[in-house]
Structure 1
Amino acid sequence: MVRLEGTYTAESKTQCGTPQGSPLSPILYVLYLAELLNQDRSLRFGYADDIAIYRASKSVESNVTMLKRDVRQVMRWGAENKVAFAPEKLEMIHLSRKRNTNAPSIRVSPELTITPVTAVGDEQPALRWLGVWIDRKPSFKRHVAERSTKALKVARHIKGLAGVRFGPPAASLRKAVVTCVQSSLLYGSEVWYGGRRKPSASHGYNRNRLVSTRLGPLIEKTNKVMVLAARGVLPAWRTAPTASVLRDVGLPSGSTALEHARIRFALRLRTLDAAHPLVRRLETPILPWQRATKLRCADTLIPHAPRPVLAQPHFSPGCSRTDPTEGSTKEAAAEQFNTWWSQLSDNTITVFSDGSEQYKDGAKLVGYGYAIYRGQSLVRTGSGAINSISHVFDAEAIGALKGLQCALEIPRPLDEHIWMCIDSTSVIWCMRANASNTSQWAFLECHALIDQFKVGIRWSPGHMGIEGNETADELADAGANEGRMDDDRSAEPTISGIGTTARALADAATSDWWSRCLTGLSASYRKWGLGYSIVEPPELCLPRTLLHRLLAAPNGSWRLRAIP
């Protein structure tokens, strides 16, 4: 039966359910469950067809009373809208840090009673929500135990596939560890891992002091799984030091992997849409007596950048989806461009733009420049700098926008074209079609101007003697060195820039762990001065027997080539 406002259709039996992954599923969700969630968006939330109701008070008895009223309201709404809820799938848990174990049930009706979740044996009672096990405290000990057990089974299976002298190539086993073990082990780590230190909950002079998060036992569980998986990949004796095994296989330790996951989560927070629930939580002001949560602590790891917006797909008029180079070499394309440009009329405006990224006295400088020609005569130029937490791609996008805005101020016939001449094919792709997340605002403003005015885009190969491109390149270098920034979004960091910051933080976490481990290795090993990076070493592609002999070489002399 279908209901539309106050009209009902005749009832009919369905022949089958909605297939898994069917496009009909989100439509049904919008038609049915969205209305239920929108009745109270602060205390109800859901994912697909799973709904959660949340209440907070000073006692579990008050919570039970309020939850009973909420569940009855949901059941009443379901009866009115012909939506049935499976009683056997209803679960409940009381979250409290108090030591008492009082956990009353919810008696919704004589036929329905919701009891708190229980556990078998010594397991900790916990409720599973979207793959994360939430216990009463919540300490997430059950979650780490579940994820570690699942990943440990796969790690033991991988270890059993190969020995010191037999088995698949180490490179293949390493891919299996990264794909099956590490991803399973770290699932949901953003919820429970917030670093080894956190702000103190005490008041007074100890308020801003960092204290331990007491996550050592949980981190050690993840570390044991990663070490076992690494030993299964590498054909080394069991007496090989753990640090050297992880280094030779290019895998992170448990603590390093958790820190990397936290940094990735912090970067993701910077790229979420402004309407995302996590962003709304970050925008809520924190009171003076409140302690920063794991979410807020992760948010402080990486600088702010303009958030990308959810924009519709864009296709510039007259711009095809073909390769901007059209399959030509830079030399041939430069010759064709010069021929085309020399034949333009005196009223045609061409905008050449370029970006520059350079280092001076250890400081990073990023800037843009543009040169505007009417016919073959230079009429206007401009340059400037952008935030140093960015890249040349951002500079080229912003420079193209600034140049186009300046060109539109020049008087010209209404039917005359403006040509944007850009030497970066990546920027051209984003100008023609969908904008990238980094410097998205610049691309979106260009899209609006391109759709409003007669603007064309053409590839002008860089460093090929094209007059306008060479001029724009010199202006970009000058703009980066001058350091003058406009008072707009070009003065803010970009998504690509904070991505580099995140990678630097991950590299620093890896280096710190390796520095601590080096003190426990032998002097004969330390003298080689080996570095440590989480990438696949090329020697893992060797046959297993040969790789074992290399690893067993005295004093690790084969590692000489790895010295930075």
Structure 2
Amino acid sequence: RFGYADNGCLLATARTLEDCGHKLECKPNQTLQWGHENGITFDSAKIELQYFHNKRKYIESSLHTRKYLVNPQSHIRWLGVIFDKKLNFKDQVLRACQRTRVVTDHVKRLSNTIRGINPSIIRTALQGTALASLFYGSEVWYGPNNSAWVINQVQVTINQAARAVLPVYKSTSTAALLRETGLDPTITWLNRFHDRLNSLHFKWIRQRQDLELSHETLSPPWEKIDTTISKLDNGAVGRANCTTEHKKWMKTREPKSLDLTNYLDGSTNKSGSAHAAYCIFRGPSKEMAHGFVPLGKTVEIYDAKIHVVLEGLRAALDHPMAKFATDLIVYLDSEEVAIRLHTGVPKSSSSV
């Protein structure tokens, strides 16, 4: 079985090009090894190397891998956007303007001052094709460091598109032409695309969202669950007898035992912020690790205890002494959380 990977990117940053090249040397070999293990092959003709800097005397070194020799290039095309060394994007803007002018020149021949196509139809077609291609990737190349030449090239292209929409004479004012066609100036177009990424909707997309995953249950959620069997399986003893039972169990443990015990708890402070903590012991009393998990004001105590169970188990399994342990015992002061985790019913009282 073979797979296919497209548009992979390896990025490294350093103060000098030499240090950047050293960082990149090991990454391609790891990628090739991963591809070999997963049945993915890489096309050597499509492997490109690009250094981003604003110096003239720097020597750009080639990248040596186990199979390929990659030489640095002056320009690369990544997801339809052309990147150059200094990130001024002049080639990207120039090629986008050329593509748009080819379309506008062709459409302009379809109409004249006497006869032709309905201007509203032409405007809709140009805005959906030519102008969409012109401003593709503007969220990447538009910024405060763009030169006036870039803005001027885009504005000239928009003016030609406006003259292709309306059959007017060459002496017609550009400002009046843009007003009648409804095409905004270049700065307005670019700021519109830039502000769209700064909206609350796109901020929510860029943020890492916590997902609530739950297993399918055999019974509907409104049905009351018999927790007697789950309590016996989990070893729940209740708050009244927990201290006595814990002391009895500690006496049965060997002093040199390598098993891990994880003590967990979660609560809220006076301001309403939830937090949780865990402490990992080896044997009866040898503390190995501990941690604190701040969860903010949007998490309830029930959810905080679930979070700390997962974080505590992750920390215990990642500990170097975990490979010597036979058992991992978890102590939690909430029977409800233990039952929910054991039975597989929805593990949260609300969306986290």
Given the two structures, how large is their TM-score scaled by the length of structure 1? 0.36
Q: Quick one: distance in 1 between partners of 2:80 and 2:96?
A: 9
Instruction: State yes or no: 1:271 paired with 2:201.
Output: yes
Deviations 1:178-206 (A, max 9, x none): 11121111111111223xxx5xxxxxxxx
TM superposition shift of 1:106: 0.8
SS at match of 1:272: helix
Deviations 1:203-223 (A, max 9, x none): xxxxxxxxxx35311111110
Partner of 1:96: 53
Given that 2:159 and 2:178 are in contact with CA atoms closer than 8 Å, whether structure 1 keeps it comes out as yes
Q: Which amino acid aligns with 2:39?
A: K
Given that 2:17 and 2:58 are in contact with CA atoms closer than 8 Å, whether structure 1 keeps it comes out as no
Q: Quick one: distance in 1 between partners of 2:152 and 2:16?
A: 35
Q: Quick one: distance in 2 between partners of 1:222 and 1:107?
A: 40
Q: Please, what is the CA RMSD of the aligned residues?
A: 2.7
Partner of 1:150: 99
Structure 1 unaligned runs (5+)?
3-27, 30-47, 118-124, 199-212, 281-307, 313-451, 453-564
Deviations 1:311-331 (A, max 9, x none): 99xxxxxxxxxxxxxxxxxxx
Bigger shift: residues 226-235 or 258-267:
258-267
TM superposition shift of 1:309: 8.7
Question: Given the superposition, is the C-alpha separation of residues 98 and 73 from structure 1 closer, same or farther in structure 2, using an over 3 Å criterion?
Answer: same
Q: Quick one: distance in 2 between partners of 1:246 and 1:72?
A: 54
Instruction: State yes or no: 1:71 paired with 2:28.
Output: yes
Question: Given the superposition, is the C-alpha separation of residues 103 and 161 from structure 1 closer, same or farther in structure 2, using an over 3 Å criterion?
Answer: farther
Q: Which amino acid aligns with 1:140?
A: F
TM superposition shift of 1:310: 8.0
SS at match of 1:235: coil
Q: Quick one: distance in 1 between partners of 2:97 and 2:151?
A: 10
% identical aligned pairs: 29
Bigger shift: residues 252-261 or 148-157:
252-261
Q: Quick one: distance in 1 between partners of 2:210 and 2:202?
A: 8
Q: Which has the larger radius of gyration?
A: 2
Partner of 1:80: 37
Given that 1:155 and 1:229 are in contact with CA atoms closer than 8 Å, whether structure 2 keeps it comes out as yes
Partner of 2:68: 112
Q: Quick one: distance in 2 between partners of 1:244 and 1:174?
A: 16
Q: Which fold has the larger relative contact order, with Cα–Cα distance below 8 Å and residues 6 or more apart in sequence? A: 1
Match of 1:180 among 129, 134, 139: 129
TM superposition shift of 1:91: 0.7
Match of 1:161 among 110, 113, 118: 110
Partner of 1:59: 16
**What does 1:513-532 align with in structure 2 at a 5 Å threshold?**
none
Partner of 1:331: none
Given the two structures, how large is their TM-score scaled by the length of structure 2? 0.56
Q: Quick one: distance in 2 between partners of 1:237 and 1:78?
A: 60
Instruction: State yes or no: 1:232 paired with 2:164.
Output: yes
Q: Quick one: distance in 2 between partners of 1:219 and 1:146?
A: 14
Q: Quick one: distance in 1 between partners of 2:162 and 2:192?
A: 18
Instruction: State yes or no: 1:220 paired with 2:169.
Output: no
**What does 1:522-561 align with in structure 2 at a 5 Å threshold?**
none
Question: Given the superposition, is the C-alpha separation of residues 134 and 159 from structure 1 closer, same or farther in structure 2, using an over 3 Å criterion?
Answer: same
Q: Which amino acid aligns with 1:251?
A: L
Q: Quick one: distance in 1 between partners of 2:211 and 2:128?
A: 30
TM superposition shift of 1:79: 2.3
**What does 1:299-310 align with in structure 2 at a 5 Å threshold?**
none
SS at match of 1:133: strand
Instruction: State yes or no: 1:256 paired with 2:205.
Output: no
SS at match of 1:161: coil
Q: Quick one: distance in 2 between partners of 1:232 and 1:192?
A: 26
Q: Quick one: distance in 1 between partners of 2:112 and 2:130?
A: 19
Q: Which amino acid aligns with 2:167?
A: P
SS at match of 2:129: helix
Given that 1:273 and 1:310 are in contact with CA atoms closer than 8 Å, whether structure 2 keeps it comes out as no
Q: Quick one: distance in 2 between partners of 1:238 and 1:311?
A: 62
Q: Which contiguous aligned blocks of 4+ residues in structure 1 show a shift greater than 6 angstroms?
A: 308-312
Count of aligned pairs: 215
TM superposition shift of 1:52: 0.4
Given that 1:224 and 1:254 are in contact with CA atoms closer than 8 Å, whether structure 2 keeps it comes out as no
Deviations 1:380-438 (A, max 9, x none): xxxxxxxxxxxxxxxxxxxxxxxxxxxxxxxxxxxxxxxxxxxxxxxxxxxxxxxxxxx
Deviations 1:353-377 (A, max 9, x none): xxxxxxxxxxxxxxxxxxxxxxxxx
Instruction: State yes or no: 1:129 paired with 2:78.
Output: yes
TM superposition shift of 1:82: 2.6
TM superposition shift of 1:241: 0.6
Q: Quick one: distance in 2 between partners of 1:168 and 1:139?
A: 39
SS at match of 1:88: helix
TM superposition shift of 1:272: 3.2
SS at match of 2:9: strand
Given that 1:105 and 1:114 are in contact with CA atoms closer than 8 Å, whether structure 2 keeps it comes out as yes
Given that 1:222 and 1:255 are in contact with CA atoms closer than 8 Å, whether structure 2 keeps it comes out as no
Given that 2:166 and 2:181 are in contact with CA atoms closer than 8 Å, whether structure 1 keeps it comes out as yes
Structure 2 unaligned runs (5+)?
214-348
Question: Given the superposition, is the C-alpha separation of residues 63 and 228 from structure 1 closer, same or farther in structure 2, using an over 3 Å criterion?
Answer: same
SS at match of 2:122: helix
